[in-house]
Amino acid sequence: MIQHFEDEFAGYACIGLNNGPVTLHAMKNAGPRIIGLQVGSGANLMAEVPLAGESEEEFIPRGGQRLWHGPEDLFRSYQPDNSPIAYQFTDNGVVLIQDTEKMTGIQKTMAVEMVDGKGELVVKYSLQNHNLWSISLTVWPISQMRVGGFAILPLSIADTGLLPNRRLVFWPYTDIKSENLFLGNRYMFIKAQYQGNEKVKVGWLNERGWIGYYLDHTLFIKRAEYIPGAPYGDLGCSMESYSDQRFLELETLSPLTVIEPGERFIFEEKWFVFSDIDLSMQEESVEEVIKDLNIE
């Protein structure tokens, strides 16, 4: 049975869910934002970013899982989400509802459903257009994970003969020679050990449809549908990862979509949390674990 409760977590008033193997916390007074993901009552797998003097009138990182809309823009993407949300418990989860953003006319909703007794969740993200005109955007869920682990970015293994099968996109501030980046033939790894002002961001067209993070013998996997031929932003990226000294982000993106006035677009992620996993930052190790866990 899924347990629903309200308590305080990471210094915030929260709504909580527990299905046995996994505990989840979402903020009540900001968001929609999932601030905590734990195996049982263990350490938070998600980052908890301390406040750094930000105003309530600006975007505050906080950590956890947030919902943005892209392509990235300092005005549109960084709208504050610091007001209390509405929420509705469901049999197996909760729906988090944000007030319509005043500056964009977009309303964000995040619906979480847990699978009873398993480390499995479904998170549905909705963006509704309350403007009088159509808008073009990307649904952009972002998971900020606690540093100390490493991200697993699956690369294409399709045999395309004489045609290319892999595309990597790097942001200008990325040092490709960083010792925290490891490029293999089937996977790219990002070690979440950046210091000072160092940071990295990489994106790619991920036809394999998942991205992972390994920390404290726990493997967290996010799956999102890849649609062949669809118009993805950021030079054709369907998934991205960013890291600095505070956190590592796992980012999925929907294709660029036009939303008409009054309509909404829904994008879905499936989450999997596997505990007691032995994994190294080697392609052979990942292949063995992925096969054992039936991730592909």
Which domains are assigned to the chain? 3-292 (2.70.98.10)
148 phi-psi bin (left φ>0, alpha ψ -120 to 50, beta other):
left
Pairing of strands 168-170, 93-97: unpaired
- Residue 41: DSSP 8-state: T
Tell me if 273 sits within 8 A of 267, measured CB to CB: no
pTM above 0.95, yes or no: yes
pLDDT in tens, the chain (296 residues): 899 999 999 999 999 999 999 999 999 999 999 999 999 999 999 999 988 778 888 999 999 999 999 999 999 999 999 999 999 999 999 999 999 999 999 999 999 999 999 999 999 999 999 999 999 999 999 999 999 999 999 999 999 999 999 999 999 999 999 999 999 999 999 999 999 999 999 999 999 999 999 999 999 999 999 999 999 999 999 999 999 999 999 999 999 999 999 999 999 999 999 999 999 999 999 999 999 999 99
Q: Is 36 exposed, middle or buried (0-12, 13-18, 19+ CB in 10 A)?
A: buried
Beta bridge partners of 124: 111, 268
